[in-house]
Chain A
Amino acid sequence: MKYKIFTILALFFILTAKSFALVSVDITRGNLDPLPTAISDFYLDSKLGDNIKKLQLESKIPELIQNNLSRSGLFFALEKKSFIQRPEPAHNKPRFEDWAFIKTQVLVTGKISLEKEGRLRVEFKLWDVVSATELSALAFYTTPDNWRRVSHMISDKIYERLTGEKGYFDSRIIFVSETGPKVDRKKRLAIMDQDGYGVKYLTLGNELVLTPRFSPASQHVTYMSYFKNLPRVYLLNIETGIQDLVGDFPGMTFAPRFSPDGKKIIMSFAQEGNSDIYTMDIKTRVVEKLTDNPSIDTSPSYSPDGSYIAFNSDRSGFQQIYTMKSDGTNVKRISFGEGLYGTPVWSPRGDLIAFTKLYRNKFYIGVMRSDGSGERLLTENYYQEAPSWAPNGRVLVFYRETPSDSSGRGGGAKLWSIDLTGYNERLIQTPTDASDPSWSGLLSGK
């Protein structure tokens, strides 16, 4: 295979060593040696009422944590039935030899108790079995129906403590849900937790909608809609459901994204066969034109500090990736490999740009440094595009299509995630076909 998938051998990020614990996870190498992890059932305070007890949170919360950690590819969760010590003593004072006996290296324990006004206190502790020490402990206060969020937040704390990097579990993905035959596809905006749970639909499917993207700063989403058969960029408040047209352009606007401060939308405007890149300030509605070239300029994406923009242009004759300063100056082509390049998306860390590449009739998701060097292809397939970064810049979500047969049936689109290492490629289950995913920031903030 000429274009094999590269593995990372170099260390990209130096782990921040905050303690002398022996256990840590090197997340720069892929999932060749996931960390054996025991996640004990939590124990329920005896004062909890039957209405809480019947929710079975003592096993549901650990199961969700286990699901998150396993899906990351960095942890290997041990079977619950091999555990020797009961949840309560394990949480209060683990007998480390019992846990070492089943060959786990870390242990997660927890306790659920009642607070005022029906609120719960969910406490977890993370233990290093090898050095027999407590690594961290934290309590969250919440209503019982919010147990999934709490589980995601605990997962993030564990991930962060063991990898030295922020987690990404307390986050959501917005995407386009697809149903119906290819020639008359119904597309709806949908949102779900990053693990695929709790899909909610934001539009009814009466008009074609494409390319939703989260605001990094608010409960807003920008996307493209064919409302009244006029393809335009819209701004949607996902809490109130109120949507607004972005700008007053006499033609198609598309490919929207937010600036990192959430104050501007950057997008393409097509007129007379020419697409250029514009920004609009959401508050003042001031519009600025950033590129002025007879070619197609589209798919703009800001660097996380807002000072640069990566975009897609065919000014060389073919689709390639360019960068420019955020005022439109200093335009530089950065992709020079064979094939066509599209959909550049700047990593939240600022160091890498993810992209889609078409080469010899295959589609690749890849990353390169922001100067175009160090191109690495993570995955090859019949069709895939539109990578979007997890909030910690370690995982990408994208969509992949399968071909339809000669009668036009059998094709479909699904969401997939893959680690920056090129390992741990996973399908994200969705109730319908799905495309155009966009990953939110951490809901609990940075």
Chain B
Amino acid sequence: MLSNNLSKVVLALVMTLFLGACATQQATTTTTTKGEDAYTGTETVKFLADGVPDRVFFSTNKSELTSAATTTLGKQATYLKANPTLNVVLEGHADERGTREYNLALGERRATAAKNYLISNGVAANRIKVISYGKEKPANPASNVLAWSQNRRTVTVKTN
């Protein structure tokens, strides 16, 4: 009995150490990859419907969805399921601080990340198209950190 309890304690300890190590690892990675700099404001955001933002934002060179992005896409999925005749195109964009061709690919990857989230939340794949504009269509034409963060985005646009 005792030995059993002890082993549980040991296991818990090991887990703690392991998780601790993970957290440390995570922190190091974050600092070396310039950190998360996805836009969190609402300045450029439009709405597909009441309370349904039309866009999600990304960190520099990233296409992973932030928790704010998944919240927004969750609302979009609910809205699209409630309006089953609506189709959308997801427009993927990059900021101007990267080479043109790579940014075209990055925009496609960002739009696809959003599309896959909508599909996994029950929106039919044939209702969603993606297009990448790379850095060709900035939402904010300024050349500063704020503008760049507002331009790293995927915008959901109704097509009918």
The reply to whether B141 and A231 contact each other, CB–CB distance below 8 Å, is no
Nearest Cβ in chain B — how far from A298, in angstroms? 5
- Distance in angstroms between the alpha carbons of A273 and B105 in the assembled complex: 8
Interface residues of A in 234-278 (CB under 8 A from B): 251-252, 254-255, 268, 270, 272-275
Interface residues of B in 82-139 (CB under 8 A from A): 96-102, 104-106, 108-109, 112-113, 116, 131-133, 136-139
Nearest Cβ in chain A — how far from B10, in angstroms? 36
**Is there a chain A Cβ closer than 8 Å to B31's Cβ?**
no
Question: Among B113, B137, B141, B144, which residue has the most Cβ atoms of chain A within 10 A?
Answer: B141
**Is there a chain B Cβ closer than 8 Å to A343's Cβ?**
yes
The reply to whether A211 and B138 contact each other, CB–CB distance below 8 Å, is no
The reply to whether A183 and B138 contact each other, CB–CB distance below 8 Å, is yes
The reply to whether B136 and A185 contact each other, CB–CB distance below 8 Å, is yes
Contact of A342 among B99, B116, B132, B144 (CB under 8 A): B99
The reply to whether B132 and A211 contact each other, CB–CB distance below 8 Å, is no
If the complex has contacts A185-B136, A318-B61, are A275 and B108 also in contact, measured as CB distance less than 8 A?
yes
**Is there a chain B Cβ closer than 8 Å to A438's Cβ?**
no
If the complex has contacts A182-B138, A183-B139, A408-B142, are A299 and B112 also in contact, measured as CB distance less than 8 A?
no
* A298 contacts across to B, CB distance below 8 A: 101-102, 104-105
Nearest Cβ in chain B — how far from A228, in angstroms? 11
**Is there a chain A Cβ closer than 8 Å to B66's Cβ?**
no
The reply to whether B143 and A385 contact each other, CB–CB distance below 8 Å, is no
Count of B residues near A, CB < 8 Å? 30
* A182 contacts across to B, CB distance below 8 A: 138, 141
Contact of B101 among A208, A211, A272, A411 (CB under 8 A): A211
Contact of A343 among B61, B101, B142 (CB under 8 A): B101
**Is there a chain B Cβ closer than 8 Å to A296's Cβ?**
yes
- Distance in angstroms between the alpha carbons of A61 and B109 in the assembled complex: 53
Which residues of A are interface residues toward B (Cβ below 8 A)?
Answer: 181-183, 185, 208, 210-211, 224, 229, 231, 251-252, 254-255, 268, 270, 272-275, 296, 298-299, 312, 314, 318-319, 340, 342-343, 356, 358, 361, 383, 385-386, 401, 403-409, 411, 436
Which residues of B are interface residues toward A (Cβ below 8 A)?
Answer: 61, 63, 96-102, 104-106, 108-109, 112-113, 116, 131-133, 136-144, 147
Could you list 13 further interchain pairs (A-B, Cβ under 8 angstroms) beyond the known A254-B101, A273-B112? Answer: A182-B138, A183-B141, A210-B100, A211-B101, A252-B108, A268-B104, A296-B105, A296-B106, A298-B101, A298-B105, A319-B99, A385-B99, A386-B100
A-B contacts, 11 listed (Cβ < 8 Å): A208-B136, A270-B132, A273-B63, A275-B108, A312-B102, A314-B102, A319-B61, A342-B101, A342-B102, A401-B96, A406-B144
